[in-house]
A and B are shown apart, each in its own frame.
Chain A
Amino acid sequence: MSNQIAILLAVLLFPGGVFALALGLALKGVDRRVAARLQSRVGPPLMQPFFDIVKLGFKRTMVPAAANETVFLYTPLIGVVSMLIAAALVPITSVYAPDAAIGNLLVLLYLLMIPGIVLMIAGSASGSPYGAIGFSREMALMIAYEGPLVLIAAAVAIRTGMGMGGWATFSLNDIVAYQQTHGAFLFDPVMWPAVAAFCFFYPANLGIVPFDIPEAETEVLEGPIIEYSGPVLALFKLMSAVKKVVVLGLGIALFFPLAPANLVGGLLVWLIKMAVLMLIGITVVRLSTGRMRIDQAFVFFLKWPLLLAVASLAVVVVV
């Protein structure tokens, strides 16, 4: 019973829930501010994403005549909830360890697919042709990036499992604990292909510029979310904010979870790592590249990240 309450609190309050929402929005604010400074602009205030959410709360929600109203209005809710649960699965070294019943890499992989599926369903339920284009692009992109992700996860799991004397372990706590005693995978040459593949994966999963093809606002007018307005649109913004925390947190847990053993230090180091990961992998990349076409992105993912991920899996199994 007590661990059920702990899981509930984790989903609603600390690593998930309020904390993840606030952190995701704050990261978005830092991202926009730094992006503006890199372009020598002043940029919006750091709290801008919070203002946007409050603003969207005052706007009216319009349901298009061609839309399926129930699906249209309730799918974003599924997306937000799945991401809040996912945030409760991500371990923070020496601060938070997910309950053994839920802290599983495979569960996290399934939960990470849900926002993409939510976007696809929302886009097609809105009855807009642009939503339909967004749907097909999102689907193609998902097929392209999910493969490498699964292989990366398998490589990490097998490396950890073999190091611990078994075959493969998908427990996130074990993965973090193994790296704390044996050194982070980031400094392990065997894992470098997997690290590189992950660096390609996360901009695509988060829909950052070279890979924001499903939501390209200049060609398909924000694709799946074109027909959304008001509070329901705010749900999409919250979903992508929490997703950023989950994906970056997953990257930290898989490859570089080392942190000082006390509570404050651990949290601080985790936040710094997250900010660095975001600034390098998201802000700089999105400012210095143009958007790919969907066929280019598809071929790119099936060429490099998939190759790297397969290579890392092979190396991990052989070495």
Chain B
Amino acid sequence: MGLIPDFKKIATRSPWLYRINAGSCNGCDVEMATTALIPRYDVERLGCQYCGSPKHADIVLISGPLTVRVKDAVLRMFDEIPEPKVTVAVGVCPISGGIFRESYAVLAPIDQYIPIDVNVPGCPPRPQAIIAGVAKAIEIWRERL
């Protein structure tokens, strides 16, 4: 009885991240890579790890305004991620379309198609903001486990 909550607490110390680029300009993706890779912002401290396959992921980082071209691929990939999962939208594009908002090829806001749990605005957001978003996502994830 008492063991399950303890295990859940332990489990939240191992969030694996997966990045989906939904037509981003790569600015946010560079910031995400920075967040993970450079010593100053090391997210591995939180137990995070970027994984190659969507099936291994717990926290999904989506960047970009969701272009018409990638919509089907993104939705399919999102379905491949096993529950329980948390979605973090990185950058201003998933919220409003950002500088691409008037384009005919853009389907933003992204939450019409995918449930978004945390928004990290910015163009691009700072690594500290992305880490704060991931930390927030971990709290939401703890409740879903």
Taking Cβ atoms with an 8 Å cutoff, the residues of A that contact B are: 32, 36, 39-45, 48, 50-52, 54-55, 57-62, 217-218, 221-222, 225-230, 233
A58 to B80, Cβ gap below 8 A?
no
- B51: shortest Cβ distance to chain A, in Å? 7
B39 to A217, Cβ gap below 8 A?
no
The dominant DSSP class at the A interface is loop
Beta-carbon nearest neighbor of A32 in chain B: B44
B42 to A229, Cβ gap below 8 A?
no
- B142: shortest Cβ distance to chain A, in Å? 11
Q: How far is the CA of A42 from the CA of B13 in the complex (A)?
A: 15
B42 to A222, Cβ gap below 8 A?
no
- B13: shortest Cβ distance to chain A, in Å? 4
Name the residue in A52, A221, A228 with the highest tally of chain B Cβ atoms < 10 Å from its Cβ: A52
Task: Check A221/B44 contact, CB under 8 A, given A51-B10, A54-B10.
Answer: no
Chain A residues contacting B122 (CB-CB under 8 Å) are none
Task: Check A222/B11 contact, CB under 8 A, given A41-B39, A229-B82.
Answer: no
B52 to A41, Cβ gap below 8 A?
no
B53 to A221, Cβ gap below 8 A?
yes
Number of A-B contacts (CB under 8 A): 87
Task: Report, nearest first, the 10 A-B pairs whose CB atoms are least far apart.
Answer: A217-B52, A55-B14, A229-B55, A55-B11, A51-B14, A41-B42, A221-B52, A60-B82, A229-B82, A222-B52
Beta-carbon nearest neighbor of B81 in chain A: A229
Proximity bits, B61-88, A CB within 8 Å = 1, else 0? 0000000000000000000101110000
B56 to A54, Cβ gap below 8 A?
no
Beta-carbon nearest neighbor of B13 in chain A: A51
What are 25 A-B residue pairs whose CB atoms fall within 8 Å in the complex?
A36-B44, A40-B39, A41-B42, A41-B45, A42-B44, A42-B45, A44-B45, A48-B14, A50-B10, A51-B47, A54-B7, A54-B14, A55-B16, A57-B11, A58-B7, A60-B82, A61-B82, A225-B53, A226-B52, A227-B55, A228-B56, A229-B55, A229-B82, A230-B82, A233-B55
Q: How far is the CA of A217 from the CA of B52 in the complex (A)?
A: 5
Taking Cβ atoms with an 8 Å cutoff, the residues of B that contact A are: 7-8, 10-16, 39, 42, 44-45, 47, 49, 51-53, 55-56, 58, 80, 82-84, 145
Beta-carbon nearest neighbor of A50 in chain B: B10
Q: How far is the CA of A225 from the CA of B84 in the complex (A)?
A: 20
Contacting A59 at CB < 8 Å: which of B10, B12, B82?
A: B82
Chain A residues contacting B49 (CB-CB under 8 Å) are 52
A48 to B47, Cβ gap below 8 A?
yes
Task: Check A233/B80 contact, CB under 8 A, given A51-B10, A51-B11, A57-B7.
Answer: no
Q: How far is the CA of A57 from the CA of B12 in the complex (A)?
A: 12
Chain A residues contacting B84 (CB-CB under 8 Å) are 58-60
Chain A residues contacting B14 (CB-CB under 8 Å) are 48, 51-52, 54-55
Chain A residues contacting B83 (CB-CB under 8 Å) are 59-60
Beta-carbon nearest neighbor of B36 in chain A: A41
- A63: shortest Cβ distance to chain B, in Å? 11
Beta-carbon nearest neighbor of A216 in chain B: B52
Q: How far is the CA of A61 from the CA of B83 in the complex (A)?
A: 9
Q: How far is the CA of A172 from the CA of B39 in the complex (A)?
A: 45
